[in-house]
Chains A and B, each alone.
Chain A
Amino acid sequence: MDPSNDPDQLGLLMRAAQDGDSSAYLRLLKEIAPLLRRAVRQQRKFLQPSDVEDLVQEILLSLHAVRATYDPARPFLPWLLTIARNRVADGSRRQMRRTANEISVAEYPETFSDAETNVLETRYGDPEALRQAIGQLPPGQRQAIEMLKLREMSLKEAASASGMSVAALKVAVHRGMNSLRKALSIEA
């Protein structure tokens, strides 16, 4: 039977994961990822697929952090969905805070017509170029930039998630930023 259709089975897998069974934990996380994707899409219908994925990852990291709170005597799905709902609500609050001070305009007003005053915008204002430049980085540097700069994880969290040491992450992110600066200044 598909465990994602059987909450008791998911509870048993979580119980085994709490006891240190990594294959049970892997199976559990794989089973619940589609459930979480569905739950996030249901709650936030207007999200882009990449944003949905970000939230799913956020929920998985949170679940991992508080997995000791699961009581095998209690049902698994309400436990999981409470965490999911909470993280989705936090995500909405974060987004509202971010967009509260943003004003959508078709064109940015120019304070001075001189090209020098607009150098910073033209140089760093192309997200597509940045995305491509990140894509061309070596895997280690790309992973470090993604986790520390884009996902804003702490060094400790990133080290735990990637298996790299904190020092290696610092070096990788420093080199990655230098490479990005070079790549973007050449393109500009």
Chain B
Amino acid sequence: MDTDQLIHKLAGQTVPVRRLPAPWRRAAIWLAISLPYVAVMTLTHSMSMSVDLTHLLSDRQFVVEELAVLATAIAAVTAAFCSIVPGYDRRVLLLPLLPLGIWLFSLGQSCINDWLRSGAQGLALHADWTCLPPASLIGIVPLLAIVAMLRRGAPLYPRITLALAALAVAALGNLGLRIYHVGDASIVLLVWHFGAVVVLSLIAGWIGRRVLNWKSARLVAFQ
């Protein structure tokens, strides 16, 4: 088929399409779906573990960390939605680096404080596998929602897009997990919580092309 024929075929099947909302708007929609779910999951677990929220919120370190985690989730999801709209400056993909840096710095600072307070014992690492099921559960709805939303877009940088999406989901999950999983040493938070976020983002980046690609974008469009 020559190009002119293709152009006539494509024009012949023109139907009105619903314009994609702006990335920040889609990010807000995703947060409106995900935050209540994370809040409900967090409250359910907090009540069963009798967590003192007032005490937690008076801890400055905890508040800074949680704000950085929330900012990371917001920046990552906004960058992910920008990455599937052609024409945006690619520098927008670096948006989550600042809050992510603050989060990492805050965790690092806590580790140093623990070390100064308790010596090598303050940096003793232990694995707590019991937190794995609730940690996985808390990310399910945000993950499904973001993948469904990202498939309606242009898969320009699929690996980066999915890595950013995983970062947003993992950060949001961490926001809740940190509340009901109290009492963890800073080193545990750094290695297990932050480490899991990094590993999840890397895995998502690795499978990015399989989840988001032009073939599936065309299938979605031609459905």
Q: Which residues does A use to contact B, with CB under 8 Å?
A: 17-23, 25-26, 29-30, 33, 53, 56-57, 60-62, 64-72, 74-75, 78-80, 82-83, 86-87, 90, 143, 146-147, 154, 156-157, 160-163
- If A62-B214, A163-B9 touch, whether A146 touches B1 (CB-CB below 8 Å) is yes
B130 cross-chain contacts in A, Cβ below 8 A = none
Contact B6 A71 (CB under 8 A): no
A75 to chain B, nearest CB (A): 7
Which of A20, A26, A29, A147 makes the CB contact (< 8 A) with B15? Answer: A20
C-alpha spacing A22/B156, complex, angstroms: 26
Question: B116-141: contact bitstring with A at CB < 8 Å (1 yes, 0 no)?
Answer: 00000000000000000000000000
15 extra interchain contacts, Cβ-Cβ under 8 A, other than A60-B6, A82-B86, A161-B10? A20-B15, A21-B14, A23-B11, A25-B10, A26-B8, A29-B7, A62-B154, A62-B217, A64-B221, A66-B153, A67-B17, A71-B20, A75-B87, A78-B86, A163-B12
- B15 nearest CB neighbor, chain A only: A20
- A84 nearest CB neighbor, chain B only: B86
Interface SS of A by simple majority = helix
Which residues of B59-111 are within 8 A (CB) of A? 84-87
Which of B12, B16, B87, B153 makes the CB contact (< 8 A) with A20? Answer: B16
A-B contact pairs, 28 of them (CB 8 A): A20-B14, A22-B14, A23-B11, A25-B14, A26-B7, A29-B7, A33-B3, A33-B7, A56-B3, A60-B3, A60-B7, A61-B6, A61-B10, A62-B217, A66-B221, A68-B18, A70-B19, A71-B19, A71-B22, A79-B87, A83-B156, A86-B86, A86-B154, A154-B218, A154-B219, A157-B218, A160-B222, A161-B1
A67 cross-chain contacts in B, Cβ below 8 A = 17, 221
B50 to chain A, nearest CB (A): 48
Point out which of A61, A78, A162 has the most chain B C-beta atoms below 10 A from its C-beta: A61
The verdict on B45 contacting chain A, using a C-beta distance below 8 Å, is no
Interface size in chain B (residues, C-beta < 8 A): 36
Interface SS of B by simple majority = loop
- If A82-B156, A154-B219, A156-B219 touch, whether A64 touches B10 (CB-CB below 8 Å) is yes
Q: Lowest 3 A-B CB distances belong to which pairs?
A: A20-B16, A26-B11, A82-B86
Contact A65 B217 (CB under 8 A): yes
Question: B1-44: contact bitstring with A at CB < 8 Å (1 yes, 0 no)?
Answer: 11100111111111111111010000000000000000000000
Contact A22 B19 (CB under 8 A): no
B217 cross-chain contacts in A, Cβ below 8 A = 62, 65-66
A87 to chain B, nearest CB (A): 8
Contact B222 A83 (CB under 8 A): no
Q: Which residues does B use to contact A, with CB under 8 Å?
A: 1-3, 6-20, 22, 84-87, 152-154, 156, 214-215, 217-223
A65 to chain B, nearest CB (A): 4
Which of B3, B13, B18, B154 makes the CB contact (< 8 A) with A160? Answer: B13
C-alpha spacing A80/B86, complex, angstroms: 7
B156 to chain A, nearest CB (A): 5
- If A33-B3, A61-B218, A62-B218 touch, whether A69 touches B16 (CB-CB below 8 Å) is no
B79 to chain A, nearest CB (A): 16
